Structure 1
Amino acid sequence: MVKKEKEIEEGSRRGGWKFIASGRKLERYKAALLVAIQLFLMVVVFFQVNYLSYRKHQTWDLSQNQRFTLSDASKGFLRSVGGEVSLIMAFLGTSDLHADVKGLLSEYDRLGEEKVRAEYLDLSRSRARIAELKDQYQIQFAGDQILVVGKNKRIKVISAEELVNRDSNTGRIVEFKGEEIITAALLEVTEQQQRKIYLVTGGRRADELVPIAQQLQPLANAQNARLESLILEGRQRIPEDADALFFPGNTLDLTERELEVVRRYWEGEKGGLVFYLNASAKTSNLNAFLREHGAGPRGDRVLSVLSIPGMTAKKTYDVAVALMPGSGPTRDLPALTTQLMGQTQSLDVLFEDDLLIAENIRPRPLMVAREGFWGETDFQTEEVSYNPDIDHGQPELVYTAASVEKGVAGDYDFKKGSSRLVVVGNPDLISPDGNTSKVGADFTMASLNWVMNREELIGITPRRPTAYTLSVSADDQGLLQSLMIFLMPGLALIISGVVWVRRRA
């Protein structure tokens, strides 16, 4: 009996050990399974992170002056570029522009996706590739340069020195204009032909027209456009190569014959018109043409009165204005603000007029005066105040710029094309003093691009990152040296002495 009980006890012990062993084995299988699942999930997460970083990655430009960040105008062009374009950078690795140019081309390559491809060559090492390019395009590599190759093998060569402005005395780089030059080159090799803008002269003094043209020309060059002057007197038609006419605050009115020539160009040839109006000029024919299309000048002066305690109130004609984002030239411009210097007249923009809508004419306001300004009709008197019976504004908005788009009757989506114009009630948005604001320049180019049907180039234009230097006189340099040589070590010695005394105590 005792023997049998021992056998039973021994069997139970063995069964228990077997159960424990099988339990431990099961735990090991569970642990192995969990490890396998974790490894699998880690692999999945790894590939997901890499996929998302490739497809949805975000970059940040941490450089000084944001020199590797492309402007809205360049981004808009890259989204619409037709055909593949190659940017071939051939620089010496020791060039002082190598890092900046390579970083900028990398941004073009990234934003251009598959349409723009950047290639980087070292003039001292990539000799086989350079020899191949010489034979293929029949060009010489005389120094650091960028080769821009468009479809149909159209080529533009940019030398390194075209990308910068240097100090004439020290040779130091003071301005980097790489984006401006490269975007212009891309436009040149992708567009069928260079656009042409005619600056229509009409009574404005030459000493004012010359600086206006000098400021407008580089803006046009940056977007593959050329600026030329035009006199309407005696002409039977506008030149065939004209893409837009720009009237920069002319003081002479258009004659009936000249107005008919301009009208045929605008309506028949779908040419673009941009008018900067001189508020003091008597231009009855031009004003009637603009009123006919819902953007008529009112002949007043937009002003405000500055009241300072203890001083006589003064009227100011320098108008603070804001752009009105929406359709047209300001579609891709944020709600920027600027000042219209000199005298400005308000515009009567009939954007809700049923008759104009029926004729498929769409006037739209583009620029509005800030609160506190109104259109004063009796502006020649010393003391002025708002009169709701004869003045304009308060609480109605005071518009200082407008666009007009005119299509074929019944073609409300403008599928058959449209005639476009922009009018501003101030002549000096491009300043004759050479002090044009960035907002004024961007608005002008946006207006010209819009009337030329180049919406992809509307936006904030490229900046020119500038190097700033701190001028320190000889006396100040001596003071700084004294501080660095004596004061800083002296402070360190005093602090160490205080610490030593406290520890000794």
Structure 2
Amino acid sequence: MKNLKILASFQTKKFKYGGHAALLTAIVIVLLIVLNLLVEQAPVKIDLTENRMFTLSEQTLQILDRLEQDVVIYGVAEPGKENRMVDEVARRYSRRSPRVSVEYLDPYRQPAFIKRFDQEGKGINEGSYIVVSGDKFRVIDRWDLFNINYQNPFQPEVTGLVAEERFTSAIMYVTAEKNPVVYALKGHGEEELPFNLRERLRQENYELRELTLVAKEKLPEDLDLLLVFAPKRDLTTEEEEKIREFLNAQAQGRALFILNWYVADLPNFQSLLRSYGLKLQPAVIVEGDANRHAGNPVWLLPEMKEHEILTPLVNERMPVLFPLAQALEILDIRRRSLEFTPLLATSAKAWGKVNPNPTTAEKEPGDLEGPFTLAMAVVDKEWTEETGEVESRLVVTANSHFLATQFLLQVPGNLDFIMNSLNWLADREEVISIRPRSLIHLNLQMSGWQKLIYSGIVVILIPLLALGAGVVVWLRRRHL
């Protein structure tokens, strides 16, 4: 009798509906498991992060598509202890190009193999990466894969991921026949290049050398780019002539001038600039717009104009800080072949203090009226039947203080501005747009009313809707 009741219960409508619901639930769970397994094996990965942190730039994709040599990216890490963010970026390279492979080296099981790449004998940190092609390699230290803000030295803050920039630069280095050579001019009291700049030059595959023009009949043949950093003494007439020959459009010379405002008049340097239609204005710039300085009216936050050098900084909202800047002026009388593009400029509320030792930052009679140009890109074009159109390029900044270590550490845009300028001068525009992915998470700002409304929706409205739906379903099933 009891067995008959049990059998009869299987025939009821409640059992049928309940069985159908259970079966449907089981099917959905199985489908989700199968779908998850299939997606995990799929070669296509979708980057759903807010700032597309793991999406390779168009410039990197073009470099990978043109690869003609095999490249191996070795990660130094114990199995299962890889940095997941960096590993995902590295594997995007291998997914894009069959020429690139990613492998990991266990520092405790393969120390001898890793030591082959330790040329300086300082050791290779766990978490570092080694990019290899043929006999050439580049070691990327784990700390170089991130931007770190040392404003608080006791609590450094990781602000950005620069893995793509480092990997792409390393691939370009190990696959290139020749890397650009930068010569820093010496012999005129020039300042030493900051360590951060020298390290960044190395990371972006520039060879840095020093150039003394005295007793040299001609400039080095491998000179690709001339860097003049804060000279305190003037050029000789012979030195000026040699630099003019290098910067001739037919020679396709490239130069970056970083000058100081407080230096005494340097007539030969000024003459060189005038030949390219520029003049340094003898004034210290003071910004009258509170939104365009960093709390001190001579610590300028200039407007960034439209140019390839500045596009990544504008897109990433990375400001440039120019303290104690001088201004550049375009001469009315200049060669027609010259093209000028202002890079950084003040607001119209700025003024220039003509007194080199002012007692006040306030505007006084005789001070210059703004706006002012603080950095300029100059192109000198020439066309002949033999060579077609050729050009020389210059970038001139009327300030060197923005490259002081304290500003390079606290304002990443300063170093990026200089590196973008060098890459533009060296015709390496493909490197300019590969810039850090921010790791800073901004908190959502809400007013008191907004918090109250959203709290009511989440805590009261949504639970009531769920309870109401449950009651409706229960009432309908109750009458089945």
State the TM bucket, normalised to the shorter chain: 0.5 to 0.7
The residue correspondences of 1:71-470 to structure 2 (distance < 5 A) are 76-80=59-63, 82-84=66-68, 85-89=70-74, 94-97=79-82, 99-109=84-94, 113-114=96-97, 117-120=100-103, 148-150=131-133, 153=134, 155-156=136-137, 158=139, 178-204=163-189, 209-210=191-192, 212-267=193-248, 268-281=250-263, 282-304=265-287, 316-327=297-308, 329-334=309-314, 336-342=318-324, 344-349=325-330, 356-357=335-336, 360-378=337-355, 380-383=357-360, 384-385=362-363, 391-393=368-370, 397-409=371-383, 416-431=389-404, 433=406, 435-436=408-409, 437-459=411-433, 461-462=435-436
1:16 match: none
Question: Matched residue of 1:385: which SS?
Answer: coil
The gaps in structure 2 that reach 5 residues or longer are 1-34, 117-123, 149-155, 441-480
Note closer, same or farther for the CA distance 1:174–1:93 as it changes in structure 2 (3 Å cut). farther
Question: Matched residue of 1:407: which SS?
Answer: strand
Shift of 1:435: 4.0
Contact 1:374–1:386 (8 Å) recurs in 2:
no
How far apart are the structure 2 equivalents of 1:160 and 1:301? 41
How far apart are the structure 1 equivalents of 2:307 and 2:186? 31
RMSD, aligned CA = 4.3
How far apart are the structure 2 equivalents of 1:157 and 1:435? 24
Contact 1:369–1:398 (8 Å) recurs in 2:
yes
Shift of 1:233: 2.8
Contact 1:291–1:297 (8 Å) recurs in 2:
no
How far apart are the structure 2 equivalents of 1:254 and 1:71? 45
| CA deviation profile, 1:240-261 (whole Å, cap 9, x unmatched) | 2222111111111212111111
Contact 2:312–2:435 (8 Å) recurs in 1:
no
Question: Matched residue of 1:236: which SS?
Answer: coil
Note closer, same or farther for the CA distance 1:80–1:289 as it changes in structure 2 (3 Å cut). same
Contact 1:252–1:283 (8 Å) recurs in 2:
yes
Equivalent AA in structure 2 for residue 105 of structure 1: A
Note closer, same or farther for the CA distance 1:147–1:427 as it changes in structure 2 (3 Å cut). closer
Shift of 1:89: 3.9
Note closer, same or farther for the CA distance 1:149–1:423 as it changes in structure 2 (3 Å cut). same
Equivalent AA in structure 1 for residue 179 of structure 2: Q
Contact 2:181–2:222 (8 Å) recurs in 1:
yes
| CA deviation profile, 1:278-305 (whole Å, cap 9, x unmatched) | 1122212212221221222122221146
| CA deviation profile, 1:155-209 (whole Å, cap 9, x unmatched) | 426477686799xxxxxx997864454233212122221222122234447xxx3
Q: Which has the larger radius of gyration?
A: 1
- TM (norm. structure 1) is 0.61
How far apart are the structure 2 equivalents of 1:454 and 1:320? 27
- TM (norm. structure 2) is 0.63
How far apart are the structure 1 equivalents of 2:313 and 2:53? 20
Note closer, same or farther for the CA distance 1:367–1:161 as it changes in structure 2 (3 Å cut). closer
Identity of aligned residues (%): 20
The gaps in structure 1 that reach 5 residues or longer are 1-45, 135-140, 167-172, 308-313, 467-505
How far apart are the structure 1 equivalents of 2:125 and 2:303? 48
Contact 1:237–1:261 (8 Å) recurs in 2:
yes
| Greater mean deviation of Cα atoms: 257-266 or 285-294 | 285-294
User: How many residues align structurally?
Assistant: 366
Equivalent AA in structure 2 for residue 61 of structure 1: T
